[in-house]
Amino acid sequence: MDIIRTDCLVIGAGLAGSAYALHAARAGLDVQLLSLGGPCEANSDWAQGGIIYDTSIQLDLLAVDIMAASDGTANPIAVEQLVREGPVAVRELLLDELNVEFDRQKGGELEFTREGGHSKRRIIHAKDLTGHAILSSVAACVDATQRITRQTGSVAIDLLTLSHNTDRPADRYAPLTCFGAYVLMEDSSEPVAVVARKTVLATGGLGQIFQHSTNRPGAIGHGVAMAYRVGARLIDLEYVQFHPTVFYGKNAPRFLITEALRGEGALLINGLGENFIDAVHPRGSLASRDIVSRAIHQEMVASGEPCVYLDPGALEPDFIRERFPFIYRRCLEHGVDISHEPIPVVPAAHYSCGGVHTDLEGRSNVRHLNAIGETACTGLHGANRLAGTSLLECLAGARFTAIADIRDIGETE
């Protein structure tokens, strides 16, 4: 069997994996970055609404919103870390270095929107393709960075651990330790062993195990499964968030209808044109995702209808086409002109709040095995994630984990 040796093996090249690779390589570490698809074939690329960039002096309000969205179940330490360090991660990489083209006002200031569960406007965006704008910029930077070897068309089969891959009986009693993975590379019929000092799982979530999902094909939790097979602790896997508004149409694919539409004034109505959500929660259509999804489901059960509707009637047609061009085109392809028609929507599996249990530096209970992004669970989201935190967690978590790994590797040399 062929062997590839590296400092860091990153399994998954979405925003979390790519950001980690950048930080590690810039510190002089060699990185193997694996992905089945191309540089932008990840759930991060499909994120529409935006990323939180809260630079106000009242950061405690964001912490309150995150905790409220979780129904009081989030880990306060993880929340405090994200609230404190998140703006730094966004500013340093996305704004100052990569100059990601976020939407701006006429005077050049960043334009902020609001989504469900938020008490104020604090989300920056790039039309309704924020994830693509961010990931494409980060991916281009990855490809221009020395010490990163991108391996597309690659699938990690299983993790390499000391207790499962040794000729010495005594090693079975050693602490659980990971040192890489078996990987099936593109155009190869035999796996190779990628031996690494640090192995990072960044494989995303598991939404595609559900019938209806906003996730890309292949998001079936294989990183979580690999971790489980070697003894990693998993937590909160029952906490799967359903997004309230996914396009519904006969013989049409399910695709996300961003929460930002509701943030700009679109309202949820039933088939009779009635606003049913205001009676459920004071924030109405802008309540957190779990509340809105449950309300939609209950309305569908009570009415017997297959969907409800998102009515953008309060928005100017030109504003809709300018602010939400991707959603406008996708809906038009399936016979709905959202500039003057309500959008048929249903809830669908969107995000796994649980995953591989890690500390705030990405470490699992298996030595040298880390997890970041949606694959990981620090307790940040508790039972339900606040809109706009996913991309932010990818950036911040990758940064914290890379810094810790750089330090650990430096101390062993």
Residue ranges and CATH numbers for the domains of the chain are 3-238+353-412 (3.50.50.60), 241-349 (3.90.700.10)
Query: Is the Cβ–Cβ distance between 223 and 34 less than 8 Å?
Result: no
Residue 168, pLDDT score? 86
**Residue 125 near residue 102, CB atoms below 8 Å:** yes
**Residue 412: its pLDDT value, please?**
77
Alpha helices by DSSP H, 220-306 = 222-229, 260-263, 289-303
Residues 197, 254, 262, 289: which is the catalytic one?
289
Q: Give percent of the chain above pLDDT 90.
A: 89
Name residues whose C-beta falls within 8 Å of residue 31's C-beta, 6 or more positions apart in sequence: 6, 7, 8, 9, 10, 21, 24, 25, 147, 148, 149
The whole-chain average pLDDT of the chain stands at 95
Residues 6+ apart with CB under 8 A from 113: 49, 50, 121, 123, 124, 125, 260, 263, 264
Q: Residue type for 109, please?
A: E
Structure tokens at 228: 């489980």
What is the reported pTM?
0.94
In DSSP terms, which residues pair with 213 in a beta bridge? 349
**Cα(first)–Cα(last) distance of the chain, in Å?**
28
> Per residue in 86-97, pLDDT tens?
999 999 999 999
Higher pLDDT, 171 or 142: 142
The yes-or-no answer on residue 289 being catalytic is yes
> Is residue 57 pLDDT above 80, yes or no?
no
Q: Which residues of 228-261 are buried (b: 16+ CB within 10 A; e: fewer)?
A: eebbbebbbbebbbbbbbbbbbeeeebbbbbbbb
Of the candidates 187, 204, 212, 84, the one whose C-alpha atom is nearest the C-alpha of residue 135 is 204
d(CA 134, CA 47): 10
In the chain, the amino acid numbered 269 is: I
Grouping H, G, I as helix, E, B as strand and the rest as coil, residue 375 is: helix
pLDDT tens for each residue of 153-203: 999 999 999 877 778 888 888 899 999 999 999 888 899 999 999 999 999
Give the whole-angstrom CA distance, residue 41 versus residue 38: 5
**C-beta of residue 192 within 8 angstroms of C-beta of residue 4:** yes
Q: What pLDDT, on a 0 to 100 scale, did the predictor assign at position 413? A: 65
Cα–Cα distance measured from residue 178 to residue 159, given in angstroms and rounded to the nearest whole number: 7
Answer yes or no: is pLDDT of 222 > 80.
yes
